[in-house]
Each structure stands twice: as structure tokens, then as C-alpha cells.
Chains A and B, each alone.
Chain A
């Protein structure tokens, strides 16, 4: 199977740092995606990790450890506009396998 687990909801404060975790159980995949989805809108691409390690892109970073079945998305200097759901997805065989998403609430 390819169970993917993410926390349902997280709350953080504007200006702070938050880490959203994604754990999975799978026999193989090409890479791991993170997407952002604002309420009522479509998911949009944030990052894609193929190799183990940290990929940094501005305020957002994504980490993958294949041996541990674990990824995280790190958001720094949180802004109110970062309030959204964050979806992780495994890539392989034409498709993406999606986690249920983590709703991130940012408080002033």
C-alpha cells in the first residue's frame, strides 16, 4: 500500500516557523510533491524532492528521507497569506498518490 499521513490541522503565528510532516509507507516512488491549496481554489505546485535532503526555495523548504519514509515542508517568516492546506503526494506510474492535506491556520 501507499498510506500517506499528514496532520489534519496546524496553527501557527504570523512571523514564526512551522514544519508540516508527511509520512508514508510504499514500496517505491519517483519523488514527493508538496502542493498548496487556498480555500476554494485549485492546488498549486510548491516543491518536488527526488533525492534525500533539503530543497530550499525562498521562505519554503522541503525535506525528504526515503529510508525513514518521511518528508516535511518548512515554512519560515509566516505570513497571513500562507493560511492554506498543504498536500503531499507521491509520484509514480502516471499518477500522484495524495495525502489528505494539512490545514494551516495563521494567527496574527
Chain B
């Protein structure tokens, strides 16, 4: 079974703090993704990575950065958290199956910025 884990289920941070969200997958997947999900807006891609040390901007990268030093770990960084970054953050990974790119999700981190 593919397992994707995220460091926290719930997180409360103050405006201006630097926030790290960690994601680890145990299936040797090449591709990893960070999304945020807000009511009525669906899943929006922040960043993705298709290999170690590689990263690509998604649809809404502003205010975020990422790090992928090891294949199994993909970190999302909020350099200076703001209240509009309050959201559910979902990490996903997918194998290099060019037929489908099925994604496997972690449980999510609900971040509140006050």
C-alpha cells in the first residue's frame, strides 16, 4: 500500500511566521505535489516536483517555496505566513506511469494563520 504522510493534521501559526509543511512517501514515487484546497475552489496546485532537486511552479506559487532534497520528501515552505494562507494543504505523489499519473494523497494539514 502506498503511504503518504504529512507532518501535522492541524497547525496554528501567527502572521509573519515561517511555516514548514513536510510530506513523505514510501513508494519511491518520482512525482510529488502540493495543493491547497478551499471551499468552492477545488484543488489548486502550488508546486510540483518530478525529481530530486527539481521543482515546477503550479497555478498559485506566490508566497510559497518548496524543497526536495530526497526523493521521498517534499516540503512546502510559507516564508511569511499570512491570513489568506489559511487553508487545507494536501500533498500527493504519483509513480512515473505515463499512462495515468494516478495521485496518492496524504491526510492533509489544516493550517490556520491568525
Contact = CB atoms under 8 A, between A and B. Distances in A.
A94 B106 CA distance: 18
A96 to B, nearest CB: 6
B99 interface: yes
B63 to A, nearest CB: 20
Interface string B35-47: 0000011110100
Nearest to B107: A42
B31 A101 contact: no
Given A42-B108, A92-B101, A99 B42 contact: yes
Given A87-B43, A94-B48, A44 B105 contact: yes
A101 B110 CA distance: 19
Contacts of A45: 102, 104
A11 interface: no
Interface string A74-96: 00000000000001000110111
**Size range of the interface on B?**
20 to 34
B50 interface: yes
Interface residues of A, number: 22
A13 interface: no
Given A41-B108, A42-B107, A94-B48, A101 B101 contact: no
A100 B78 CA distance: 24
A94 B42 contact: no
Contacts of A92: 101
A100 to B, nearest CB: 4
A96 B43 CA distance: 10
Contacts of A94: 31, 48, 50, 94, 101
Interface in A54-107: 87, 91-92, 94-96, 98-101
Contacts of B105: 42-44
Interface of B: 31, 33, 40-43, 45, 48, 50, 90, 94, 98-108, 110
Given A48-B102, A95-B101, 10 more contacts: A42-B107, A50-B99, A87-B42, A91-B100, A92-B101, A94-B50, A94-B94, A94-B101, A96-B101, A99-B42
